[in-house]
Every structure is written in C-alpha cells, then in structure tokens.
Chain A
Amino acid sequence: EDQVTQSPEALRLQEGESSSLNCSYTVSGLRGLFWYRQDPGKGPEFLFTLYSAGEEKEKERLKATLTKKESFLHITAPKPEDSATYLCAGGADKLIFGTGTRLQVFP
C-alpha cells in the first residue's frame, strides 16, 4: 500500500536553531515528491518538487533533498514567520499526503 509518513509530528525551535523534517515514502511508480507549507485555515502553498534521488532544491532558509526512500526539509536559522505545518506528498497518478509536521519557531 502506498504510504507517506512524516516526522516529527510537531517541532518547537528557537529562532536561529536549524533542524530537519523527515518524509518517508513508499509509493509505487513515484513521479514526484512535493513539499508544501500550510498556514492555519489556508490551502497548502507550494514549496518544492523533487523528481530523482540526489536532487536538492533551495528557497531562502529551506532546502529539500531526496533519496530513494525519504526526503528531508532542512530549515536553516529559522525565523518565527517560518512557523507553519509542512506537508510532504508523493504521487504516481495522484498525490498521497503525509500528516505533516507542525513547526513552531519562538523568538
């Protein structure tokens, strides 16, 4: 059965304290691994698409990496405005979402 698992479920960081979020996936015929940011009461905002193992993408304080079994979202020197739920999703012909990591960054 196709599955996407994220850890940790919740993460509290001090401003400037770097960390990583994990996304493990088992998706037959994976065509892409996606990261989204979701703020409370809003739809997911697209961050990254990764297509092949070894691929990396960066945007401001975020960097996403991909291996054959998992993806990491690295957050460098986070700020309070990075607080959100980060979702990862994998898909073949449709997306399967993980349950997300709720990130809180304190000043």
Chain B
Amino acid sequence: GAVVSQHPSRVICKSGTSVKIECRSLDFQATTMFWYRQFPKQSLMLMATSNEGSKATYEQGVEKDKFLINHASLTLSTLTVTSAHPEDSSFYICSAPGAGGLGTDTQYFGPGTRLTVL
C-alpha cells in the first residue's frame, strides 16, 4: 500500500511557540492531503483539507490563522501550529488518498505526531 510519513513523531514545546509538522507521501503523489486531530480515547476529527497549489479548506471551528497549512509540492504538506497553548496538545495525523485524489478514495495515514505544549 501507499506510504505516508510524518515528522517529527513527537514534539514538546513551550506555550507560545510555533511548531511545524511535515507530512510526506513517499511513493505516490497527492494533490490533496488531510489533517486530523485525535484526543485521548476519541476518534479522528478532520481539521482541514490541504490542496496542492491552492489554499487549504478548514473545517468549522478550526482556526485557520492558528493552524497554518502549506501544500508545497505533490508529496509534501506542512501543518504549523502557531502560538501553541496547552489545549493544542494532541495527536496530529495526516493522510493522503492513494489514487484519484478524491476525498473518499482509500486514505493512507501517517504514523502521527504527538504534540505536548507545556
């Protein structure tokens, strides 16, 4: 199957700092990638859809100025959490459709990034 990587796997930062998380599709191109957030013992919640060459689409309730998304190439999307606060601590996971680029083609997920804000 398609492989998606994320970096870093874990990050601990102080309140008020910004953190960048990278998501890469390793063996396929992805014009669309998705960013999810998962709190302990809860399911995945879609935060935004990252589109190569255009602006990201954010879900209702997600602050676009706080969670900056850049889809720089067909294999790389980045999520920057700006001025992070303890309530932003969560597990962030990206995914990419394996074929067709449409939202519901099978999505392959990265290993996730655990963000802890002190």
**Which residues of A line the B interface, CB within 8 A?**
31-32, 34, 36, 41-46, 49, 87, 89, 91-100
Contact = CB atoms under 8 A, between A and B. Distances in A.
Interface stretch (B14-22, B81-89, B105-113): B105-113
Given A36-B109, A43-B93, A44-B109, A91 B44 contact: no
Interface residues of B, number: 25
Contacts of B44: 44, 87, 89, 97
A97 B43 contact: yes
Interface of B: 1, 4, 6, 34, 42-46, 49, 91, 93, 95, 102-112, 114
B106 A94 contact: no
Contacts, number: 60
Nearest to A90: B104
Contact of A43 (B1, B42, B111): B111
Contacts of A32: 104-106
